[in-house]
Structure 1
Amino acid sequence: MTTLEILLPYYGDVALMQAAVRSVLAQSDPDWRLTVVDDGREPGVPEWFAELGDPRVRYFRNERNLGVTGNYRKCLGMAEHEYLVFMGTDDIMLPEYVATVRSILAQYPGVAMIQPGVEVIDGSGKPSSSLADEAKRRIYAPRQQGRVLMGGEDLAVSLLKGNWLYFPSICWRTDAVRTTGFRDNLEIIQDLALVIDLLQAGEQMVVDDVRVFQYRRHTVSISSKSAFSGTRFTEARRYFLDAADRLDAHGWPKAAKASRMHLSARIHALTLVPGAMRAGQWDGAKTLLRNATSTASRPR
């Protein structure tokens, strides 16, 4: 069975990155390779990797900052194995992650995407639960136990109503991601766009309920920084409306309707309005309201 390629496009907190790397080193299944591509200039990082002494770990530092999408593309270009993971720089792989993913691949050979079970943690590593995560779990995620193979318009509709995936935990078939690629004009919603493109190409996803990954949700993430400004929702609305046109042309009218409505994204924007007002971000509050109340028209 193939070695699992773990890609870590790194930028930000050194201690959290080191915790992420240590969680990979602690995997019960040793058949993995970790490639870290450093898009920053934090001191001492190259030396820390040099001291690890594990031949399965590769470390590279970019000569210039490539940004989020640029660094993901570089990581993708360096992948040499059949399956890969774009791990978050502040997330944690529980010890059975690699073993679980490889067992799913043995059961479903050739599948393009695997979403294992995920536990959400806060900045200090403690279990956490936000309104968004509770909505994912209770409202939008499929009601299933064990492992389920999903795909087609039904899965697209489910995700466009409310994206219940956790991108850094997903295992991808490398050639499928390379064929589809990342979009130039997206950052926050790049993950959903990739999944929908793969579904339109006829690919499928295995969803498993065994929790083997910890997704860290805290206020210093890119998505959180842009929340009160409303920019993340402007990007999302642009994507949803463009996707709706493409889904209509693809012959998936239910998915197109769900994309035009993008109900969960609009509700989320609405819940942030009071916080933006308390923070004195009045322009952000107006942007959030505009994104929460508009569906069919495109942003100006």
Structure 2
Amino acid sequence: MSYVTILVPNYNRAAFLPACLESIRAQTFTDWRVVVGDNASTDRSREVVRSLGDPRFELVCRPENVGYIRNTNLLLNEVDSEFVAVLHSDDWWEPDFLERLVGLLEAAPAALMAACAVRQVFDSGPAHIQWLKTGGGDTAILPAPQATRILVRTWPFLVPSDVLARTDLYRRFDGFEDSLPYSTDWLMWLRAASLGSVAVCRRPLANNRKHASSITGQAERNVLWADEWIRVARILEAEWQANGPPYPGAARELWAMNALRFIMKSHELHERGNRTGALKLTRLAQETAPSRTWRLAARLQRMFIRTTSPSIARRFRQLAAGLARRFPRPGYVLTVLSESD
């Protein structure tokens, strides 16, 4: 039995699969096995896997497309190791991804997951690196209250490719929630953080490809993620009420964070000329905000979108950015969100 099982759910990613699979073969940590779950691809994906001629790579072929989450959950049934990673077939790892994250989880028995910094690679333009803000040092072990608070206050960016988890995490929840195609990973990470510590590496060990056909790309264009974020908050609120919150006011802060994210994103969509999507986000913010202050902010943003042009919205953002640079404020920008009325 291998120490780590790596799952690669795939659908029509023959163009990206070689880089993905070769990044696994290049790992400095070598005690692993790979299961590629091909979701009824119509391109050369299966041939790409078979051409490796590597017995450590097992190919499981679905006779019909069962969807990304169902495919991933079926792959999780193949796991017989303590640790498991899910690598998207259009993403790839740096050679020391497994070595560093396995070491972190071994050093933190209470941690259900380890996450690294992420290099987001776009079709055009420079790459962008994101990481969980944990303070100084390359690594950190965050206790549940701190880990959950950081995730609640961070715009969701972690995908399964960026995480090494204990298999027990996915067993506890029967895999990913299949009714949340665009937010199921965010729910899983918040669940993991609220149940145990989280190990963090601030080095960019995972590379996430961002393109129009990706799952996140589709959600971004159609604002499909917003309704799911509301459902995530409701699920976690119920779980935290039943089992105890990871820290006082966690559910309220999560609702406030959602409202602020909707307002911020509505401005960006307005700048791009997507007034329909922008107005939807302000409506959701107003309906779900946990305080009068944030309901008022959503209402004012809605009025701003209705009465201004995208060019004015862009100038307004540039002015705000200039003021932020001139008068920087230390710490979290969003710490005031959980304040009561």
| TM-score, scaled to structure 2 | 0.75
Quick check: 1:262 aligned with 2:254?
no
Match of 1:198 in 2: 192
Quick check: 1:159 aligned with 2:159?
no
Match of 1:173 in 2: 166
Tell me, in whole angstroms, the C-alpha distance in 1 between the residues paired with 2:279 and 2:162: 34
1:12-51 deviations in whole A, cap 9, x for unaligned? 3321122111111122222221111011322332222222
1:153-178 deviations in whole A, cap 9, x for unaligned? 33222212223534321001012211
Evaluate the alpha carbon distance shift between residue 154 and residue 108 of structure 1 in structure 2; reply closer, same or farther with a 3 A threshold: closer
Code of the aligned partner of 1:210: R
Q: Check whether the contact 1:6–1:85 (CA below 8 A) recurs between aligned residues.
A: yes
**Matched ranges for 1:201-216 at <5 A:** 202-216=195-209
Long gaps (5+) in structure 2 = 291-341
Tell me, in whole angstroms, the C-alpha distance in 2 between the residues paired with 1:268 and 1:8: 34
State how many pairs are aligned: 285
Evaluate the alpha carbon distance shift between residue 17 and residue 290 of structure 1 in structure 2; reply closer, same or farther with a 3 A threshold: farther
- Mark the structure with the bigger radius of gyration: 2
Code of the aligned partner of 2:273: M
What's the secondary structure of 1:241's corresponding residue? helix
Match of 1:183 in 2: 177
Q: Check whether the contact 1:85–1:168 (CA below 8 A) recurs between aligned residues.
A: yes
Q: Check whether the contact 1:29–1:99 (CA below 8 A) recurs between aligned residues.
A: yes
Q: Check whether the contact 1:227–1:272 (CA below 8 A) recurs between aligned residues.
A: no
Tell me, in whole angstroms, the C-alpha distance in 1 between the residues paired with 2:143 and 2:196: 7
Q: Check whether the contact 1:110–1:173 (CA below 8 A) recurs between aligned residues.
A: no
Match of 1:69 in 2: 69
Evaluate the alpha carbon distance shift between residue 105 and residue 259 of structure 1 in structure 2; reply closer, same or farther with a 3 A threshold: closer
What's the secondary structure of 1:14's corresponding residue? coil
Tell me, in whole angstroms, the C-alpha distance in 2 between the residues paired with 1:2 and 1:104: 18
1:85-120 deviations in whole A, cap 9, x for unaligned? 111121111111122223223423463101123222
With 113-122 and 158-167 compared, the bigger mean Cα shift is at 158-167
What's the secondary structure of 1:226's corresponding residue? helix
Q: Check whether the contact 1:83–1:173 (CA below 8 A) recurs between aligned residues.
A: yes
Long gaps (5+) in structure 1 = none
Evaluate the alpha carbon distance shift between residue 272 and residue 254 of structure 1 in structure 2; reply closer, same or farther with a 3 A threshold: same
Which consecutive segments of 4 or more residues in structure 1 shift more than 4 A? none
| TM-score, scaled to structure 1 | 0.84
Evaluate the alpha carbon distance shift between residue 33 and residue 5 of structure 1 in structure 2; reply closer, same or farther with a 3 A threshold: same
Give the root-mean-square deviation of aligned CA atoms: 2.6
What's the secondary structure of 1:81's corresponding residue? coil
Code of the aligned partner of 1:128: A
**Matched ranges for 1:104-119 at <5 A:** 104-109=104-109, 111-119=111-119
Quick check: 1:232 aligned with 2:221?
no
What's the secondary structure of 2:80's corresponding residue? coil
Quick check: 1:25 aligned with 2:25?
yes
Structure with the bigger RCO (C-alpha within 8 Å, sep 6+) is: 1
Match of 1:289 in 2: 282
What's the secondary structure of 1:227's corresponding residue? helix
Evaluate the alpha carbon distance shift between residue 275 and residue 5 of structure 1 in structure 2; reply closer, same or farther with a 3 A threshold: farther
